[in-house]
Amino acid sequence: MGFADVVGISTSYVKQDFHLSDSLANLLPMMVFLWFAVFSVPTGLLMNSIGRKKTVLLSLAITFIALIIPLIAYRFSIILFAFALLGIGNTITQVSLNPLLTNVVSNEKLTSSLTLGQFVKAIASFSGPIITGLAFGSFGNWKLIFPIFAAVTLISGLWLVLTPIPKEKQEVATSGFVESFSLLKDPVILMLFIGIVLLVGIDVGLNTALPKFLMERSDIPIEKAGLATSLYFAARTIGTFVGAILLMKVSGRKFYIGSMILGTVAMFVLLILSNIWGILVMVFLLGLAIANVFPIIFSAALKKEPQRANEVSGLLIMGVAGGAVLPPIMGVVADYSSQTGAMFVLLLALIYLLFSAFKMQRDK
């Protein structure tokens, strides 16, 4: 699942290679995350037809093809197509992989197994820019990351093929688009859905804009600026484990409020700093602030409508398409102002999440 995050550092390299405007370059993350709005519910229906294991294998096959395409032809239109396939594959993976895990893990170990999976995903996310920088610095070709990720995908697929997994029980009832969207009539669910859209948009927006922001502020080369993305994901990895411990003692609402205060302050300070080390400290704090917000919002929505958990889950997964919403807006703002202006868009999103955190507390 972490392979989709390579779109962040890739955006900076593609922009440089093809001399693109920010508006055009930021179509790449849009191509990846748009498909969460399109394929999440259909993937659930597909799982009921062909099973979870075959659905995950299909997602890995699509991901493998997406990672091979840039090695065959390197044109901007081809790259857009490749990242669209990567987004489709990642959508299917995210929807089908967690249910598949329930086939082989007991209920007592499911939460810890999912947490371990998020940890591995975070490792993939923050290692991507490091591998890309090493490939560019050592071989002058950043695209070498694609065969590396393709090889890992192929090995994962073969491993899954050879792994015997008990067949899941056939689901009788399934969620549909109408059932999912009808939940938005509830103002609390609507607020939480918008929160997911903006949260993922912030995550992808930072992933995409941080290298360009550092290059604008500090005049450093792209292979070094890309390491800021790795720092962000490293902070998220640490934050996930710290949050897992703290959330045993602190309520989700209080943790959400504290996280958003930290994130909003860190983003504001980042926008006014020019010292590279100070900026990197703020990037690290942003990673810590964002790390645990998704499960907190997800849990709050499920508790609000426990009898419609399937529809709530489908709707919130659609919200991951927020990664296709904020980056294009940031690209337009950057073209007309600067990368600082683009990052200001993320500050506004964080302010909304801070409002959402306080509102969720009052709704208790």
CATH value at residue 346: 1.20.1250.20
Within-domain flag for 168 = no
| The model's pTM | 0.72
> 126-136, pLDDT tens digit by residue?
788 788 888 88
Within-domain flag for 224 = yes
218 pLDDT higher than 90: no
As a whole number of angstroms, the distance between CA 294 and CA 275 comes to 31
Contact 203, 294 (CB under 8 A): no
Count how many domains the chain has: 1
As a whole number of angstroms, the distance between CA 345 and CA 330 comes to 7
Mean pLDDT of 189-195: 91
Q: At what angle do helices 107-139 and 76-101 cross, to 10 degrees?
A: 160
Q: What pLDDT does residue 108 have?
A: 60
> 286-298, pLDDT tens digit by residue?
999 998 888 888 7
> 323-335, pLDDT tens digit by residue?
778 888 888 898 8
Within-domain flag for 230 = yes
Within-domain flag for 303 = yes
**In 171-275, which residue ranges form alpha helices assigned H by DSSP?**
177-182, 187-218, 222-225, 227-246, 252-272
Q: Which amino acid is at 174?
A: T
Contact 259, 290 (CB under 8 A): yes
Mean pLDDT of 18-27: 85
Within-domain flag for 169 = no
Q: Residue 255: how many CB atoms within 10 A of its CB?
A: 18
Within-domain flag for 87 = yes
pLDDT interval class at 364 (50, 70, 90): very low
As a whole number of angstroms, the distance between CA 137 and CA 248 comes to 43
As a whole number of angstroms, the distance between CA 88 and CA 248 comes to 35
- Exposed/middle/buried for residue 357 (C-beta within 10 Å: 0-12, 13-18, 19+): buried
> 246-277, pLDDT tens digit by residue?
877 788 888 899 999 999 999 999 998 888 88
Range of the domain at 81: 2-162+174-362
Within-domain flag for 167 = no
Within-domain flag for 117 = yes
